[in-house]
Amino acid sequence: MNPKKIYILLASFGLLAGNPVWATAEQIIVPLAARFTVGKGKANTDWYLWRDEKRIETASPASGRGDIWERIGQDAYNRRQVFHDDRRIVEYTPGEIRTRQAEPDWSALGSIISPRLLGKLRRGGSKSLFGQNAVYYSGQLAGQRLAMWWLEQAQLPAQLQLVGKTGSFHMQLREIRSNESSRWPRASAERIATYAVIDAADFGDKEYDPFVARLQQQDGVQHTH
């Protein structure tokens, strides 16, 4: 599988972070940084997560893409999609997010699979992983057969496999940290300071832009003014 499609694959599952869902009651988010390997079939690539109470960021170095959500107050959010290879940022303001009815489930963004979905799965045995208790869950969700080891303290999957009609997807936690590593590919303010910013509300006026046209084709969506 082309590794540049991994980022889009993650967002294609309604269970995974980066795909906005209706806002619901949320869990308390423990700040951390995590590195995973993810893939479809035999293809694998690294995928990163950083989170705290006000900011959740993910990065896929193979695709050259990142996603940054920031919480402003209780019910307002800002989102920036970062495209490192193009040196571009697509920004969704709080007003644009409300217009699109794309307010996120903050717990799902920070936990990859929303903790509220665990009640729909069969709970199995437990063991110690990454120095904390991990519980095995399995079942059917969104037409996919799911098997997962879930870290109760971190509120993250340590191992995840989804199998459906179109193939399989797997995710494996490799590192978890209380503090981020300087070696990890975060979209720091210094790194993205010179990137061009496009307001998502202006996409309809920029269809002539090759970057915008390619993004619409890749994501299979139309952005309107």
| Domains of the chain and any CATH numbers | 3-219 (2.50.20.10)
The DSSP string of 81-130 is: EEETTTTEEEEE-HHHHHHTT----HHHHHHSS-GGGGGGSEEEEEEEET
Residues 4-18: tens digit of each pLDDT: 444 444 554 445 554
**65, two tokens:** 């893409």
Sign of CA dihedral 131, 132, 133, 139: negative
Residues 124-163: tens digit of each pLDDT: 999 999 999 999 999 987 788 999 999 999 999 999 998 9
pTM attached to this predicted model: 0.86
pLDDT tens, residue order, the chain (225 aa): 444 444 444 554 445 554 444 444 456 788 999 999 998 877 789 999 999 999 999 999 999 999 999 999 888 999 999 999 999 999 999 999 999 888 888 888 899 888 878 888 999 999 999 999 999 999 987 788 999 999 999 999 999 998 988 888 899 999 999 877 788 999 999 999 999 999 988 877 777 788 888 887 776 444 444
